[in-house]
A and B are shown apart, each in its own frame.
Chain A
Amino acid sequence: MLIELRGATKRFPTGTGGIHTVVRELSMSVDSGEFVAVVGPTGCGKSTTLSLVSGLEPASAGAVSVRGAPVTGIPDGIGYMFQTDAVLPWRSVLDNVATGPRYRGTGKREAREQARDWVARVGLAGFENYYPHQLSGGMRKRVALAQVLVTSPSIMLMDEPFSALDVQTRALMQGELLRLWEGTGAAVVFVTHDLDEAIALADKVVVMTAAPATVKAEFRIELDRPRDVEQLRITEEFLAIYRKVWSSLSEEVDKTRKMGDRK
Chain B
Amino acid sequence: MTIETVQSEEFLTHSVRAAKRKRAVRVWGLRLTIIVVWLGSWELAATYWIDPFFYSKPSAIANRLYEWFTIGTDFGSIWANLLTTVEESVLGFFIGAVLGVLLGVILGRSTYLAEVLNPFIKAANAVPRIVLASLFIVWFGLGLGSKVATVVVLVFFAVFFNAFTGAREVERNLIDNARILGASRIAVLRTIVVPSATSWILSSLHIAFGFALIGAVVGEYAGAKSGMGFLIANAQGTFDTPGIYAGMIVITVVALLAEWLIGTAENRLLRWRPKVSGSAVSEL
Query: A79 and B195 in contact (CB under 8 A), knowing A89-B272, A133-B273?
Result: no
Interface size on B, residues (CB 8 A): 22
Enumerate 28 A-B pairs (CB-CB under 8 Å) in ascending A order: A56-B176, A74-B180, A79-B180, A80-B180, A82-B173, A84-B173, A85-B173, A86-B171, A86-B173, A86-B174, A88-B191, A90-B195, A90-B270, A90-B272, A91-B272, A99-B191, A103-B178, A103-B181, A103-B182, A103-B183, A103-B184, A131-B272, A133-B272, A133-B273, A147-B177, A147-B181, A151-B181, A151-B182
Is B192 interfacial (CB 8 A cutoff)? yes
Residues of B within 8 A of A99 (CB): 178, 181, 191
Shortest B187–chain A CB gap in Å is: 6
Contact A100 B182 (CB under 8 A): yes
Contact A133 B179 (CB under 8 A): no
Contact with B along A62-104 (1 / 0, CB 8 A): 0000000000001000111010111011111000000110011
Is A209 interfacial (CB 8 A cutoff)? no
> 8 closest pairs, A vs B, by CB?
A86-B177, A103-B182, A100-B181, A90-B272, A80-B180, A131-B272, A103-B183, A104-B182
Residues of B within 8 A of A104 (CB): 181-182
Residues of B within 8 A of A133 (CB): 272-274
A interface bracket (residues with beta carbon within 8 Å of B): 20 to 34
Residues of B within 8 A of A54 (CB): 180
Shortest B60–chain A CB gap in Å is: 51
Binding site for B on A (CB under 8 A): 54, 56, 74, 78-80, 82, 84-86, 88-92, 99-100, 103-104, 131-133, 147, 151
Instruction: List 12 additional contacts besides A88-B174, A89-B272, A90-B272; criterion CB under 8 Å.
Output: A79-B180, A80-B180, A82-B176, A89-B273, A91-B272, A99-B181, A100-B182, A103-B187, A133-B272, A133-B273, A147-B177, A147-B181
Residues of A within 8 A of B203 (CB): none
User: Which residue of the partner chain, among A56, A92, A131, A151, contacts B179 with CB atoms under 8 Å?
Assistant: A56
Contact B272 A86 (CB under 8 A): no
Contact A82 B273 (CB under 8 A): no
Q: How far is the CA of A91 from the CA of B174 in the complex (A)?
A: 12
Binding site for A on B (CB under 8 A): 171, 173-174, 176-184, 187, 191-192, 195, 198, 270-274
Residues of B within 8 A of A79 (CB): 180
Minimum CB distance partner of B271 in chain A:
A131
The winner among A54, A80, A91, A99 for most chain B CB atoms within 10 A is A99
Q: How far is the CA of A92 from the CA of B198 in the complex (A)?
A: 17
Contact B179 A74 (CB under 8 A): yes
Shortest A193–chain B CB gap in Å is: 19
Residues of A within 8 A of B178 (CB): 99, 103
Shortest A163–chain B CB gap in Å is: 14
Q: How far is the CA of A134 from the CA of B181 in the complex (A)?
A: 24
Residues of A within 8 A of B191 (CB): 88, 99
Q: How far is the CA of A80 from the CA of B178 in the complex (A)?
A: 10
User: Which residue of the partner chain, among A80, A100, A103, contacts B176 with CB atoms under 8 Å?
Assistant: A80
Residues of B within 8 A of A92 (CB): 272
Minimum CB distance partner of B196 in chain A:
A90
Shortest A107–chain B CB gap in Å is: 15
